[in-house]
Amino acid sequence: MTISKHIGQFYINGGWVDPLPGATKFGVENPATEEIVGEVALGTAADADRAIAAARAAFDGWTVTPLKDRIALVRRILEVYNSRYEEFAQAMSTEMGAPIEWARGAQAWAGQVHIESTIKAAEEMQWEYMRGSTRIVLEGIGVCALITPWNWPMNQIACKVAPALIAGCTMVLKPSEIAPLSGLLFAEVCHEAGVPPGVFNMVNGNGPEVGARMSSHPEVDMVSFTGSTRAGTAIAAAAAPTVKRVAQELGGKSPNIILRSADLAEAVKAGVAGCFGNTGQSCDAPTRMFVPRDLHDEALGYAKEAADEVVVGDPRDTATTMGPLVSKLQFDKVQRLIQAGIDEGATLVCGGIGRPVGVNRGWFVRPTIFGDVTNEMTVSREEIFGPVLAILPYDDLDHAVTMANDTPYGLAAYIAGPVEEAKPLARRLRAGTINLNYPDWDTFAPFGGYKQSGNGREYADWGIHDFCEIKGVVGWGA
């Protein structure tokens, strides 16, 4: 793929600028080959300061721009995005090792569909209305710091930038330095679409330097962060002294309850596919599968059949269904947690330590399934963020619900079986999104978590509301 000519620059106040003194270079690795494909600049707090200053200067003009014009701008962004769709797919395949068909059909598509959903929601939303004699008005909250992860780059950038623009906010985006190529492309798209100077800004950098400055800066009104719970708590602490709004989508350890009345083979295999998608690097992946105790061994057989169908290999090959993990750091973490599962006595159904047979480079792992898992084991407690599935037997539904809810996380949960049986169970699970029978992705459903999975909600009008202040003009109708 062609790497952006702006890879060593930042986008501030409507143009590409060089970093200020003190910035460093960071090699962007293709995790399938371990080759450095380019060097991104990692900025400093001073770079964040000038981007925030540009956003602050642009806010007063942008936030009073008519809604129809803000929507029209996001529609132009969508048009330019679509014209460069294949570039986005190639960028994400390169920077995070996504199989090219997955990069096209899921990663690049996610950016597209979320922009579309945000536009439709904005057109249908009630932005002003009367309650008695009071006028209720939704207005942009102000300058927003947007910090996005490497695992779904365009999904998260679109879920933050599009609603923030439509709400009337200005912003500074910090994509993950591990997978920055698609973020650079998105800044090029914004420029080509004609985003006014200062409304959208982008600075690359790491969390402790640029992310921390964005989170604590007194001129930032809101931080929207997607990433680990550990980083989320640090961001919340940094934001607290200035009483910013903080919206966070954090970690997960999502349960998947297979009902006795479900088609066991179908439900288990679909659950394995859900866990292994994106090489297991999804915060809402169904990583804990609960099956009736007497069906446990049969379920392990179906799970292994599904794992055996996974094709791990070169992301450029259209036959590949699983690429590498994003980095050596992630590879080492997943290896450690697989070893913990073995050491703690879980049954290793397939996979295990090391790269797949015949692979000697790249951060590829063996799709791994554990059976006979108990709720106290590490593989059932920690977010692994790799293709590792834990299968736990349950005695009855009360037992399954108790184990499912026994986690500090609450991002998503899954139930497989007859819908009328699943509905009352869905009300008992403590998670922000409950998926019944592996439904299609609904980009109009609220997305966000309970407990340590975060706060706030993304997607469509839910995301727009997070970037709005609510004003009551009392006496309007007197």
**What are the angstrom distances between the C-alpha of 433 and each of 71, 197, 226, 254, 410?**
28, 37, 16, 10, 9
For the full predicted model, state whether its pTM sits above 0.95: yes
Q: Which strands make up the sheet holding 134-140, listed edge to edge?
A: 128-131, 134-140, 468-473
- Sign of the C-alpha dihedral computed for residues 177, 182, 188 and 191 taken in this order: negative
Closest CA to 10 of 159, 214, 166, 208: 214
Based on the number of CB atoms within 10 Å of its own CB, is 341 exposed (0-12), middle (13-18) or buried (19 or more)?
A: buried
Q: Please report the DSSP string for 38-106 in residue order.
A: EEEEE--HHHHHHHHHHHHHHHHHHHTS-HHHHHHHHHHHHHHHHHTHHHHHHHHHHHH---HHHIIII
Identify the structural domains of the chain with CATH numbers, from first to last.
Answer: 10-250+453-473 (3.40.605.10), 255-443 (3.40.309.10)
Q: What is the pLDDT along the chain (478 residues), one digit of tens a residue?
A: 678 999 999 999 999 999 999 999 999 999 999 999 999 999 999 999 999 999 999 999 999 999 999 999 999 999 999 999 999 999 999 999 999 999 999 999 999 999 999 999 999 999 999 999 999 999 999 999 999 999 999 999 999 999 999 999 999 999 999 999 999 999 999 999 999 999 999 999 999 999 999 999 999 999 999 999 999 999 999 999 999 999 999 999 999 999 999 999 999 999 999 999 999 999 999 999 999 999 999 999 999 999 999 999 999 999 999 999 999 999 999 999 999 999 999 999 999 999 999 999 999 999 999 999 999 999 999 999 999 999 999 999 999 999 999 999 999 999 999 999 999 999 999 999 999 999 999 999 999 999 999 999 999 999 999 999 999 999 999 8
Is residue 177 annotated as part of the catalytic site, yes or no?
no
Catalytic pick among 95, 177, 209, 249: 249
Helix axes 85-96, 181-193, angle to 10 degrees: 160
Catalytic pick among 283, 350, 458, 468: 283
Residues in a beta bridge with 11: 16, 202
Is residue 249 annotated as part of the catalytic site, yes or no?
yes
Give me the amino acid identity at 362.
G
